[in-house]
Amino acid sequence: MELLLTVLVDGLIYAAWLFIVALGLTLVFGVLKILNIAHGSFYAIGAYAAASLVTWFTTIGLAPEWSLVAMLLAAAGVAAVLGPLLERGLLRLFYGRDEVLLVLVTYALFLMLEDGVKLIWGVDPYYVSEPYSLFGNVEMGPLFYVGYDFALMGLAVICGLGVWFGLNRTTLGKIVLAVIHNPEMSASMGVNVNKVYVLAFICGVFLAALGGAFTAPQISVQPGISVGVIILSFAVVIIGGLGSIEGAAVGALIVGLSRAAAVHLVPDAELFIVYLVMAAVLVFRPEGLFVRAQARKI
Amino acid sequence: MSTRSAVLRPVLVAAIVVVALAFAGMALPKWFLFLATMAIAHATVALGLIFMMRGGLVSFGQGLPFCLGAYAAGLGGPWLGLTDAVLLLLLGGLTAGAVAAVFGSLLARYRGIFFAMLTLSLSMVLYGLLVKATAIGGSDGLNLARPSILGYVPTTETADYALYLLAVATAGVLSAIAALHFNSVRGLMSLAVKENELRVEYMGASVRSLMAVNFIIAGVYGGIGGALAAIALGHIEPTFSYWTTSGEMVFLAILAGQHSVVAVFLASLILELVRSFANLYFPETWQLALGAFLLVVILFLPRGLGSLWHRGHKPAAPATDATTETGR
């Protein structure tokens, strides 16, 4: 019973973190049709930016509560700078190319950003533990958890609902959905498709950076964190069905829980359980769990 | 061109190039011989990828056959008592090909991103298994004894050149086979599948079997490349199966383009040179240079380096524009 609870809570904590990042990935794919490997770099840059800003806020003497603001600002800053720059300056040049070729374009971008991060922040790890103790501890029977982990779950729910409401209940969201459905028709109806693309990409970068920023207190921020997260969030969106928000949520839960189960039950499988689950889902649902049926094009 | 010369030409060209390269190797410095051997090993894997890419499939898991071939070559000595490099190459190719055959029929129904991701996940499962397999070295990997080559036992002095000769000969054989296949009915049918797979099926061909066979060939090529890399390095690690290794193979195939076999080896050599010089002179920023290089190639040479001199197949005008293709 205790083991089950541990797996459940660990899995949910893990899923929350993963969902925030994967949500951005699936949003960008939905609108721009790009499966973005560089998404992992945005995550890392968010974490680094947050680490720097939180440290700065502490040195100028602001209360620890301000570090939450610092992390949010860091993510927003990263999105505001990188989003338009990369979409307008680079990705725009490759629209209409083969989907897989676009993956390679983002792989090239990923390689470049990796080195860029090392040039700016160096290779030494950063630690920002201040915000981690902000929410106290949570006691569950014999188990202790850090409140911050549960706060992250709250953040994941807010992000998920935010994107869902933004897309389905606002005028702008409906315009975005129209562009997803048919960019040409939307353009002829007077929608500024380019603007929608930039906006969606900025949102995607923001979510990745947000995931990174709020994870920074839990981990040591160092080179290599981008590689781990990108393959995991790929697994999440592939399991859930590319471009689907519900899918990303379910995918994150599946990945989070199966990983937690592996950690506690079969530790040797921890490294590949995620890929095994992804392969298993794809065998039965070749395009993921939540995806609309499509006609084959002749 | 008559059928006969269509068969003879690639074989002759390959033979002449192999002999020329073998002589050239005598004059080349040792470090370059090793570099060229590694370039050939990687190019072999990329050449296998091109078999698939001609049919419109891109695998992001080619690290899997590469790694399988390497481990087969590494374990062939201690487990099976094979000490000859040629046998180890064959073992590597056959092992990877056999595994590809098992997964081939399953993977043959996937396309695009899903194929890429499924192959990626399979290679990562292998990576995870190997890291945990302490019996064969775990994450440290294992070392290979220097094998003989067709009975000849190279000394430390001659090892680099001997291995280079083996690599060049292997490359020659595999290139000739690839060139012959690309112009064969099956090879050309792959191009047709990429254009429009339904039409190919309506004309009576099985797209599934075509894809499965391409996948198996790619597996064999990947395995041979892995075995060659393992023998040249004298060491194997699970990272052979890590997704960034697979990414590099795709990178290489895109850089080379699908229209010239020679371009694959040339691209691999360029990449290997860029990497080692960038590593030497800009150790902090070589990925930056590599990424920029790739972007420039995709932007300005969308059909790869090979398109600089190969004018054989004009690309068909895009049948549909991007929006109708992706606007679902």
A145-190 pLDDT, tens per residue?
Answer: 888 889 999 999 999 999 999 999 999 999 998 888 888 888 999 9
What is the least distance, in Å, from the CA of A62 to any CA of chain B?
Answer: 35
Quick: pLDDT tens for A235-278: 899 899 888 888 999 999 999 999 999 998 888 888 788 888 98
- The pLDDT assigned to B90 comes to 95
Q: Which residue of A has its CA nearest to B61?
A: A275
User: Closest-CA residue in chain B for A102?
Assistant: B298
> How big is the A-B interface in CB pairs under 8 Å?
132
Least CB–CB distance from A95: residue in B122, B291, B322: B322
- In this complex, do A238 and B117 lie within 8 Å of one another by their Cβ atoms? yes
Residue B320 has pLDDT above 60, yes or no: no
* Gap from B192 CA to chain A (nearest CA, Å): 13
> For residue A101, which residues of chain B lie inside 8 Å, CB to CB?
254, 298
Q: How far is A141 from chain B (nearest CA, A)?
A: 34
DSSP state of A126: B
Does pLDDT of B317 surpass 70?
A: no
pLDDT tens for each residue of A239-249:
998 888 889 99
Cβ of A100 within 8 Å of Cβ of B117? The answer is no
Q: Is the pLDDT of residue A67 over 50?
A: yes
Our CA-based measurement puts residue B5 at a distance from the nearest CA of chain A, in whole angstroms, of 35
Ranking A1-10, B243-252, B280-289 by mean pLDDT, the lowest is B280-289
Query: pLDDT band at A284, cuts 50/70/90?
Result: confident
The pLDDT of residue B312 is 55
Average pLDDT, chain A: 89
Q: Which residue of B has its CA nearest to A110?
A: B291
Across chain B, what does the average pLDDT equal? Answer: 86
**A99/B321 CB distance under 8 A:** no
Q: Tell me what pLDDT residue A298 has.
A: 43
Which chain B residues are closer than 8 Å to A181 by Cβ?
327-328
Position A294 scores a pLDDT of 52
- Rounded Cα gap, residues A253 and A257, in angstroms: 6
Q: Tell me: the pLDDT tens digits for B1-47? A: 556 677 788 888 888 888 889 888 888 888 899 999 999 999 999 99
Predicted confidence at residue B215, as pLDDT, reads 94
* Confidence bin at B278 (pLDDT 50/70/90): confident
Contact B295 A105 (CB under 8 A): yes
B81 pLDDT band (50/70/90 cuts)? confident
**Chain segment B176-197, per-residue pLDDT in tens:** 999 999 888 888 999 898 888 8
Residue B196's pLDDT is 87
**ipTM of the complex model:** 0.83
From chain B, pick out residues whose CB is under 8 angstroms from the CB of A234: 117, 120
| pLDDT of residue B89 exceeding 70 | yes
The pLDDT, as a whole number, for residue B62 is 93
Q: Taking 90 as the threshold, does the pLDDT of residue B169 lie above it? A: yes
With beta carbons under 8 A apart, name residues in chain A contacting B298: 94, 97, 101, 104-105, 108
pLDDT band at B323 (very low <50, low <70, confident <90, very high): very low
Nearest to A283 among B106, B244, B302 (CB): B106
CB distance B294–A287 less than 8 Å? no
pLDDT at A287: 81
Instruction: Pick the residue of B54, B64, B115, B323 with the most A CBs within 10 A to test the interface with A by mutation.
Output: B323
Q: What is the pTM of this model?
A: 0.86
| A188–chain B nearest CA distance, Å | 13
Per the model's pLDDT, the better-predicted residue between B286 and A35 turns out to be: A35
